[in-house]
Amino acid sequence: MPNDPEGATVAAVVATHAVDYAGLGAAAGAAFVERVRACVLEAVKAAPPSAKPTPVVFTGANGQLTVTVGGKSVSQPLPA
């Protein structure tokens, strides 16, 4: 994703779809989306203006929904 604060909104939309697909509860899902948004904003602020786009990776494995942005990750346990 480009190093632009608007990318946080895009990542939040994708995170919302992942939350819905994974069947997370409303409160846990909303909190996860906000953590994703904050993680993306932090990565954007840390990147120099000339930096290459930052990779954003969504995974569901080992009982966790995880979003990795650059070198930082946020996770949420998946429902059983």
* Domain boundaries defined on the chain: 6-77
Phi then psi for residue 39, to 5 deg, are -65, -45
User: In this predicted structure, what is the pLDDT of residue 80?
Assistant: 81
Phi then psi for residue 57, to 5 deg, are -120, 125
Residue keyed to tokens 């995974």: 59
Which segments in the chain show pLDDT lower than 50?
none
